[in-house]
Structure 1
Amino acid sequence: MLRKKKFILTIALAVAGITTSQAQDGQVTIHQDEKIPALLEKKTEMVQDGVIGDRYRIQLFSGDNNEASKVIKEYRSLFPEWSSTIVFETPNYKVWVGNFRNSLEADRALLRIKKSFPAAFRFKPEKR
């Protein structure tokens, strides 16, 4: 009887050892709205423009439109590496520079910019 149990146990172990699991190959298909890539691109632009996100900017000037145009032209000739824009906030036109990820990055730029634009200052735009 003991021999019969050992024989059955040996066969069971042999069968279990022979049995192997097989991996299954699968394929995933993603169906997404065609507008999603365009929305992601728009969000990226808004982050880069400082409309959304925790970014810092530098203000060079606040006043009338003609003077703002002169300031931005001078700035762009001296510092082409940082973006610049004129923003209208009633009643003034403001020259804003950069879109810095943190205050350290903005302060480093400010040190260079202040040599040519002493009234420049760093700020964090309010979210619109």
Structure 2
Amino acid sequence: MNKLSIRAIIPLFFVAFLSITNAYSQNENDKINTLIAQKKAFNKTNKNIIVFKIQIYNGNETQAYAIKRSFEADFPEYRTKIKYDNPEFKIRFGNFRTRLEADRALNIIKEKYAGAIVLEDKI
């Protein structure tokens, strides 16, 4: 082969290689976009969102209602719920989106309610 034909073959090789690579990457982008669309559709139908709640008490019913009133007087910005989980009553509040938000609130709450803990919950 002479130098002229080699000079013509090399650029053609690179053009063919680049077009194959480009077609492959577009195919992968289409797959990724399809997966993102499927995930969005799944999230719309399945509303199991993980949130973080703070539990300030678990024990008997009488004490639970007393602590609930006391807590709501001390921290009126939070709405508490009493949940009966056999054999104990639990007082929880908050639907924090991240663990960091819950921990920030926990630091303030722990000054008066030392036994408070952060729990993960699905809503």
TM-score scaled by length of structure 1:
0.57
Whole-angstrom CA distance in 2 between matches of 1:83 and 1:98:
7
Question: Structure 1 runs of 4+ off > 3 angstroms?
Answer: none
- Counterparts of residues 19-58 of structure 1 (less than 5 Å): 52-58=48-54
The one of 84, 90, 96 aligned to 1:88: 84
Which of 94, 97, 101 is matched with 1:105 structurally?
101
User: How many residues get paired?
Assistant: 77
Relative to the length of structure 2, the TM-score reads 0.59
Aligned amino acid, residue 85 of structure 2:
E
CA contact (8 A) 1:83 1:99 kept: no
2: CA distance, partners of 1:116 / 1:97: 15
Higher strand proportion: 2
More helix by share: 2
* 5+ long unaligned stretches in structure 1: 1-46
Please list every run of 5 or more consecutive structure 2 residues that lacks an aligned counterpart in the other structure: 1-46
Question: RMSD value over aligned CA atoms?
Answer: 1.5
